[in-house]
Chain A
């Protein structure tokens, strides 16, 4: 089996970089203002019949008690999140047993770390590839507003420029208890979800 190529490369890396550069520039131009948070439906009142409420209750209980997280671990908050998953703070008490490496098997994205413009298209692509009932927790000051690096030339001021965020957990990095409190608030939000609403 002899494959001998001097450069062993079958792509022109300059070309690939140029295309990626364009994608990043377009995203940077197009996401100047924040995406509104998806919680308008929280305060709408809808009529409920007995059948719908029991189905809602079962489905919401099922979904909120086994939130699997997609990995989106750029920076320091990643290690507070791993510590939260670790033996001491043990997120698996909430059914968040496994960190799923692929977005297909995940329904919650915890964005643990600073988002830079070069990383933004990838995060949005991961979010789009997650299955439908999906939520986002923006963990840490960098995720909420760019945090300590907000004045930098290559940092996105907050994940809500790129993906809709459900729960914001402040802190730099937030303590695992703060993250668990954020997850509990997300669970309360899921509990209010209903099939009657479009959303």
Chain B
């Protein structure tokens, strides 16, 4: 029984190592000198079609974008639960179907509310 958890542990280690490696490789290459790095002021400035930016760019944005992010988050979290459920639907049987239906119902109520309040309409 314990052996199964061993596989999960190995998989976890491999995943963590792989992600860390991806982050560390450019740093190592730069340290070794393979990747040239000559940072200077202009290179670090932001790119706006070949010109310097005009005026203040850290401005207060329209509140509307926040609603989009909120609604997206709600639906995205739903998807995270659906994937593992959908993959092993046959073993889980009908009880899991009811549970997921309840989950989708709750999220759908939230989405319906946002729809009625016309949050996503853009004037």
Contact = CB atoms under 8 A, between A and B. Distances in A.
**Direct contact between A and B in the complex (CB less than 8 angstroms)?**
yes
B42 interface: yes
A128 B40 contact: yes
Interface of A: 1, 10-11, 16, 55, 59, 102-104, 121-123, 125-126, 128-129, 132-133, 195
B42 A128 contact: yes
Contacts of A103: 47
A-B pairs with lowest CB-CB distance, top 9 = A122-B50, A132-B36, A128-B42, A126-B50, A102-B47, A125-B50, A11-B54, A129-B43, A129-B47
A125 B36 contact: no
Contacts of B90: none
A10 B40 contact: no
Interface residues of B, number: 18
Nearest to B62: A1
A57 to B, nearest CB: 13
Contacts of B34: 55, 59, 195
Identify whether the interface residues of B are mostly helix, strand, loop, or mixed.
Answer: loop
A156 to B, nearest CB: 15
Contact of B36 (A55, A121, A133): A133
Interface string B17-60: 00000000000000001111110101101010111001100000
A129 to B, nearest CB: 5
A126 B47 CA distance: 8
B4 interface: no
Contacts of B117: none
Contacts of A55: 34
A102 B36 CA distance: 20
Contacts of B123: 1
A81 to B, nearest CB: 18
A185 to B, nearest CB: 22
Nearest to B46: A129
A121 B52 CA distance: 10
B63 to A, nearest CB: 9
Nearest to B42: A128
B37 A132 contact: yes
Contacts of B55: 10-11
Contacts of A122: 49-51
A122 B42 CA distance: 12
A115 to B, nearest CB: 12
Nearest to A59: B34
A1 B65 CA distance: 14
A94 B40 CA distance: 31
A193 to B, nearest CB: 11
5 contacts: A11-B55, A122-B51, A126-B47, A129-B47, A133-B36
Interface in B79-123: 123
A122 B48 CA distance: 10
A129 B36 contact: no
